[in-house]
Structure 1
Amino acid sequence: MFSPKAALRHELLAARQAAAAPTGPGLLATAREQAEVVAAGRIALYVSMGVEPQTGPLIDWLLASGREVLLPVLYADNDLGWGIAPGAADLVPGRLGLSEPPVDLGADAITTAELVICPALAVDLNGVRLGRGGGSYDRALARVSPGTPVWAIVRDAEIVESLPADPHDRPVHAALTPTRLVRLARGN
């Protein structure tokens, strides 16, 4: 029997499989309009996989515009280290099929980000983020410097009224979608 979170993850992943519309150009256009993105010199982001909203165009634009992009390095204990993105062609294979930067700056490198953009399957209007269940991002988000904005990338339909939350879950301040940035109640 699935837990409430596991059942939600299953439903959300099935819905993502069915909604295969491209998301990369929309995410890039939405992000480019945001003051936090324009002002940030170092942004923590991630390389999308499979049916996740596509981050490639956003990463390419950030690098081309002279910003540093921190990308995660997945450790054996599912914690995350961070390395500076060298460019898509220079990423190396990581655990679980992830693409990672070749140099790991350590788990605390996320404290140097001026904006953190993380993956999610859904977020609710209070900033609760539902991830894939490994706890990697909750651990990483616990290290983010106070006052640093934290956003989750989702599709528009993945912003929901409420989600179940556990004490270790870290809230996000906004949801970045292919059409808009939604500021969430708990984060503001």
Structure 2
Amino acid sequence: MAPQRDSDPIAEKRALRAELRERRRIRSQHERDAATEGLTRQLIALTSTLGPSALSCYLATRDEPETRPFLSWAVEQGIRVLLPVSRDDGLLDWAPYDSDDEGLDVIGMPVPTTELLGPIAVNDVGLLLVPAAAVDRSGMRLGWGRGYFDKTLGSMDRRPPVFAVVYDSEVHDALPREAHDQGVDGVVTPSGILRFD
């Protein structure tokens, strides 16, 4: 779905998010399992190429591309993994991933139950893997509308490489955008890695 001239990006985003949520919701378990296998392979390849000693990622919800097998691999490799924890003020705290236990944050997203670190903890990572509803071929990321990652990415002085994680069908030619939207350096899907200039 490409934005149209003189359109309302807020309404377009809302409609596109609803469509993408529904597509994710009806994805079969077989499709999810195949996507998890491919995505894990691609995330390992990206991380192995970039070689960060620390990275940030997220714990997937039921409908998101699954990240837990990759996170387990990263911890086994000795890579420090930080996961986002939503705050009431619209910012993100971070918590180390230890794969032992999970809870829910203020908006109901899965989070680790380890110590809570402040928003600046993410400044020490060498790779940011962020959730998205979709990404376009210019690198524009469509989030889920709460702005947590746009605020985080927009506030970083030294941004490491940022890659959105989506299903293959969620890479679009163009997406509606607003002034506050933050782009990404690349996208990881179950079938590959796409980098943007």
Q: TM-score, normalised by structure 1?
A: 0.91
Structure 1 residue 33 corresponds to structure 2 residue 45: yes
Structure 1 residue 34: deviation in Å? Answer: 2.2
CA 1:105 to 1:24, structure 2 compared with 1: closer, same or farther past 3 Å? same
Q: 1:159 maps to what in 2?
A: 171
Structure 1 residue 27: deviation in Å? Answer: 1.1
On the 8 A contact 1:24/1:56 being kept in 2, the answer is: no
1:31-180 map, 5 Å: 31-34=43-46, 39-87=51-99, 89-101=100-112, 102-180=114-192
CA distance in 2, matches of 1:7, 1:126: 21
CA distance in 2, matches of 1:69, 1:113: 8
Displaced runs of 4 or more, over 4 A: 35-38
Aligned residues: percent identity?
A: 32
Residue 130 of structure 1 aligns with an amino acid whose one-letter code is: L
Structure 1 residue 183: deviation in Å? Answer: 1.1
Unaligned runs of 5+ in 2: 1-9
Structure 1 residue 86: deviation in Å? Answer: 2.0
Structure 1 residue 96: deviation in Å? Answer: 2.7
Deviation string, structure 1 residues 87-136 (Cα, Å, up to 9, x no partner):
2x233332232222331210111111100000001000111101110001
CA distance in 2, matches of 1:151, 1:36: 14
Q: What is the aligned length?
A: 184
CA 1:92 to 1:27, structure 2 compared with 1: closer, same or farther past 3 Å? same
CA RMSD between the two structures: 1.8
Q: Name the SS for the 1:71 alignment partner.
A: strand
CA 1:140 to 1:37, structure 2 compared with 1: closer, same or farther past 3 Å? farther
Structure 1 residue 18: deviation in Å? Answer: 2.5
Residue 148 of structure 2 aligns with an amino acid whose one-letter code is: S
CA distance in 2, matches of 1:53, 1:44: 15
Deviation string, structure 1 residues 32-61 (Cα, Å, up to 9, x no partner):
222665511101100000210001111111
CA distance in 1, matches of 2:92, 2:109: 12
Structure 1 residue 10 corresponds to structure 2 residue 18: yes
CA distance in 1, matches of 2:104, 2:55: 21
Unaligned runs of 5+ in 1: none
| More deviation, 123-132/34-43 | 34-43
